[in-house]
Structure 1
Amino acid sequence: MPQTSQQTPKPPRIVIVGAGTAGLNLATRLSRRLGHAGKAEITLVDENLSHMWKPSLHEFAAGTKGFDEEISLLEHSHRNEYNFRLGRFVGIDREKRLVQLQAVNDPANRPLAPKRALPYDILVLAIGSRSNDFGTPGVAEHCMMLDTPSQAKRLQAELLNLFLRFQTGALCTSNDKLELTIIGAGATGVELAAELREAAGQFARNGIHKVRRPDAVTIRVLEAAPRVLGALPENISAKVERHLRELHIDVQTGAKVARIEPGAVHLADGTVLSSNLTVWAAGVRAPEVVGQLEGFETGSLGRLKVRPTLQTLADDRIYALGDCADCPWPAKESSLPPRAQVATQQAEFMERQILAQIAGKPLKEFSYADHGSLVAISNEGAVGSLMGKAIGTITIEGWLARRAYRSLHFLHRKSVLGTWRATLGALLGGASSRIRPKLKLH
């Protein structure tokens, strides 16, 4: 009898959309477990060519952290043997199992990547979050955001240009001082405020002589709620506010913004504050594209509702994790918050989950372990709480808290670069910091 040839089944195509904390972590893990062995085809999609750890975006934006710490997605994908595709996610064709990508253009509006579609067998959405302007007039036109690497680079350039114009006289101000306004006193807002104060000091030491006067740069933080860091315990909030005031940062709580105009912030009580640079950091929500996905259910902050398995309610082959996922948190009878800690734990969980799905094994439910919060205040300061079964809940601040904060960044780099590269990078970075400028000045 003639022998019948059996075709080897094709490896599953796993597409991950979003190269943030969760997406890049997951792509790295799956490439090591499945991609190297040819057991799956891993593809990571993002509209940026590089990755920055989102909790450090305020340092990149202020110029106090060099852009040399970016991770090139082209180089990383080559080294880890997965596919990187440049594209802007705009939709899903669930019937044909296609991820739809919009074209990406360069600053001169020339095409870098065309409109196209990528096939998938398993799809993971890790598209993060975006600033929530709550419909406030003028925010989109007159405020800067800090959600993506490209926005961090733009803010750093705007900040440098602003200080240069002030020094040369090209910036005409009625009171001969700079006024920087941050709207929102969550972690991003308070960390950026402290980093801007550090940057102002570095500008003064690097030729911008007009900001040497103590009152030359006003940095203010506006918060509509009664206190800063409303999501964290009151004792942490109070310590952070005290540190901000010690840095001569004007903290105004109960200050609701009514609208933004060029060079001015209008409060609901009628107060008008002049502002040379305004940054909106008053809240986050899922990207707009989430609400445009047909057949998917959204929950808090416009995020995709998922089961405890992290599968979307609409399709078992489509998962969501990180800031864009509205995942149940039974311990708090609510949804998990959009935090880097959640994204990291979900990426680790998703590696095991996808391995189980490919092997035809039952899926498990995600369980979140809250290890506390840390907020960086200036170069050497930080405040936070650590949580664990052995230690309970303890509050730390100062040098110890700052070291704990930096260790989180190192652990992230270790997960995506490997132990050897992350350790070597930390050692070289520490050595080079002694000789390179403490502020990006170009």
Structure 2
Amino acid sequence: MTTTKQALDFEMNEALPKIVVVGGGAGGLNLVTRLSRSLGRKGKADVTLVDENLSHIWKPSLHEFSAGTKGPDEEISFLEHSNRNGYKFRLGRFAGINYQDRQVMLDPVLNEQNIELSPARALLYDVLVLAIGSRSNDFGTPGVSEHCLFLDTPTEAKRLQSEILNLCLRMETGALHVGDEKVRIAIVGGGATGVELAAELREATEQLGRNGIDLLQIPESVGITVIEAADRLVAALPKALSQNVLHELNSLNIDVRLNTRVASVSDKSIKLADGEDLKAEIIVWAAGILSNKALATAVDLEIGSLGRLKVRPTLQATNQDHIFVMGDAADCEWAEKGQPLPPRAQVAFQQAEFLNTQIQNVLSNRPLKDFTYKDHGSLVALSSSTAIGSLMGRALGTFTIKGWLARRAYKYLHYQHEAAVQGHARALIRTVLSVAMRRVRPQLKLH
């Protein structure tokens, strides 16, 4: 890594520096855990995490929560985690920044009954890290926000699981009559999220058939369609692996429409660009990402690709020395390829590790360093037993990995995240208990 010529001229609001991390996703929770261990517990800083949710779910697992194959025991409570690790958790929705007074502005958080759980307020910071992630990009397509379900947050994943279960129950009981006696689910977007969700839903609906919903035991009782505007699935993978993914989805009786654009979405119907109307009881939008809308309120920060905030190689905002941006919220240059870094969990993981040291440099008035990303490849899960991907290493170069071994590698990525935020001992215990519980609990969430 290279170092900048000067350290950050750091002025604290109080004797104990205040570090505020906004966003408890894969990167934010990882970072705040590291900061609490390196600074908070040692009395060197006051560390605070802000999120509008009370619990954390590893975002690459959201498709499993939405299908019901993972349950609440996989979540991490921010309240419990903050108490155990020695940082503060504050419930709040990011609203903007008062740069002059170094304050993070928070909007109220309401529950489902519109009762205020936390009021509008402001938190002081000396160092601010924005890690508020991304949202699905509707590309301005009419009807998407009104008629589609999304898979960006734990709340949305739980809603999708409930909608799918209710739909299948209504079909079984006769409360819902669908065309050709088939439940139809359409997923717009053939990236990793769309592909993984399609495969997981195929497995989940088959499980429902074995758990009392008799109509789902009939072959082809659930029609799943994936719609992708590009000429191949999962563009992050090499072309040969994209073909392998397509073959796997076809073997699961999933209809894949490539080179197909969506013109508009209405109630239970998708209008394609070629004029075809595609009927579906559930429509999930997973076509690309866009920066979280809350970032638009930070009008004085420079906006880059996909609405993300442009950052310097140090991960500082281009015009605010005391603000760092990471994960899907950051438009960070990938120097090796001359393009922005992709919105991947491994990017956020590496940036969390980097910022832990970087912020310590800030507090100690040491020169800051530049972030360097190391690409370790991509993996796509295609059921509970298989996955496809490419891995990169110095010794072996780039190589393809498939099947059971690839699925184990995929699970290891989740374990790495668990170990980073829970510690290796707790992560190992949770993994062992999770395996044991699968033998005594339903394989699918049925309520």
What's the TM-score once normalised by structure 1's chain length?
Answer: 0.97
> What's the CA shift string for 1:44-86, capped at 9, x where partnerless?
0000000000000000010011121000000000001100000
2:72 and 2:139 mapped to 1: Cα distance? Answer: 31
Q: Which letter maps to 1:280?
A: W
User: Aligned equivalents of 2:207 and 2:54: distance in 1?
Assistant: 29
Deviations 1:256-311 (A, max 9, x none): 00000101111000010110100000010101122231211111111000000000
Matched, 1:210 2:215: yes
In the other structure, the counterpart of 2:267 is: 262
- AA aligned to 1:369 is K
1:46 to 51, 63, 67: 51
What is the aligned partner in structure 1 of residue 180 from structure 2? 175
Quick check: 2:237–2:390 contact (8 Å CA) kept in 1? no
Match of 1:144 among 144, 149, 159: 149
Structure 1 unmatched ranges of 5 or more: 1-7
CA distance in 2, matches of 1:173, 1:384: 37
Q: Residue 294 of structure 1: which of 287, 294, 299 is its match?
A: 299
The Cα offsets for residues 338-377 of structure 1, whole Å up to 9 and x where unpaired, read as 0000000000000000001101100000000000000000
| The one of 429, 433, 440 aligned to 1:428 | 433
**SS in structure 2 at match of 1:383:** strand
Name 1:416's counterpart in structure 2: 421
1:285 paired to 2:290: yes
| Match of residue 32, structure 2, among 27, 33, 40 | 27
Q: Which amino acid aligns with 2:145?
A: A
3-state SS of 2:94 partner? strand
Aligned pair partner of 1:231 in 229, 236, 246: 236
Q: Please tell me whether the aligned partners of residues 31 and 356 of structure 2 are also in contact (alpha carbons under 8 angstroms).
A: yes
* Higher mean C-alpha deviation, range 136-145 or range 167-176: 167-176
Aligned AA (1:292): T
Q: Secondary structure at the match of 1:244?
A: helix
Tell me how far apart the structure 2 counterparts of residues 126 and 174 of structure 1 sit (CA, whole Å): 44
Alignment gaps of 5+ in structure 2: 1-12
Cα deviation 1:22-46 (Å, max 9, x = unaligned): 0000000000111111110000000
Structure 1 range deviating more: 259-268 or 223-232: 223-232
Q: Which has the higher contact order (CA 8 A, sep 6+)?
A: 2
Structure 1 runs of 4+ with >4 Å offset: none
How is 1:328-343 mapped onto 2 (pairs within 5 angstroms)? 328-343=333-348
Please give the secondary structure, in 2, of the residue aligned with 1:387: strand
Q: Which amino acid aligns with 1:151?
A: E
Alpha-carbon distance in structure 2 between the residues aligned to 1:324 and 1:21: 12
Shift in Å, 1:103: 0.2
The match for 1:439 is 444
Cα drift, residue 231 of structure 1: 2.7
AA partner of residue 260 (structure 2): A
What is residue 248 of structure 2 aligned with on the other side? 243
Per-residue deviation, 1:233? 1.0
Aligned length: 435
Residue number in structure 2 paired with 1:272:
277
- Map 1:7-406 onto structure 2 (within 5 A): 10-406=15-411
Equivalent residue number for residue 8 of structure 2: none
- 3-state SS of the aligned residue for 1:316? strand
Identical residues among aligned pairs (%)? 58
Change in Cα spacing, 1:39 to 1:181, as seen in structure 2 (3 Å) is same
Q: Structure 2 counterpart of 1:436, which letter?
A: R
* Alpha-carbon distance in 2 for matches of 1:90, 1:231: 33
The Cα offsets for residues 92-147 of structure 1, whole Å up to 9 and x where unpaired, read as: 00001000000001100000000100000000000001000000000000000000
TM-score by length of 2: 0.96
Measured on the aligned residues, the alpha-carbon RMSD in Å equals 0.9
Q: CA deviation at 1:9?
A: 6.3
Q: Secondary structure of 1:332's match?
A: coil
